[in-house]
Amino acid sequence: MYNLFTKLDMTGPDTYDCNCAVQDKQLNGMCTLRVGVCYYFASLGDCQNHQVVYKAYAYDQATGNQANSASTNPAGFTNSTDAAVTAVTNLIMNFPLEAKACGYGVADHEKIAAHMLI
């Protein structure tokens, strides 16, 4: 089963496997962000012990600019919410115009992430 999870992932905003959950959020009626959280096993031992870790991805859906995306790769999180918040924070910090498009400043990345909780 571990080998299966090494092949599953989210490779784009509309391309994800069964181990991922996706949520779209509209912020301030100005932008739509898609966040996907995927679980996987970091090792064969983790698989045998049923210890999952999470990675997350954040995409700008409203502008159609799929180049504006961020992830938590390769970090593994033990909490899915922490993974989602980190992906959104990375998106806002790497693409400051995303924050502006959503009606926020870059310094408000925590507020934006709070709206995105899965």
Q: How far is CA 108 from CA 6, 86, 112, 113, 114, in A?
A: 35, 13, 6, 9, 10
Note the pLDDT of residue 116. 65
**Residues near 85 by Cβ (< 8 Å), separated by ≥ 6?**
110, 113, 114, 116, 117
Q: What is the pLDDT along the chain (118 residues), one digit of tens a residue?
A: 788 888 888 888 888 899 999 999 888 888 888 889 999 998 999 999 999 999 998 888 866 555 567 777 766 899 998 888 888 888 888 888 888 888 887 777 777 777 766 4
Note the pLDDT of residue 94. 83
Contact (CB, 8 A) for 87 and 117? no
- Give SS3 for 3: helix
Contact (CB, 8 A) for 44 and 61? no
Note the pLDDT of residue 90. 85
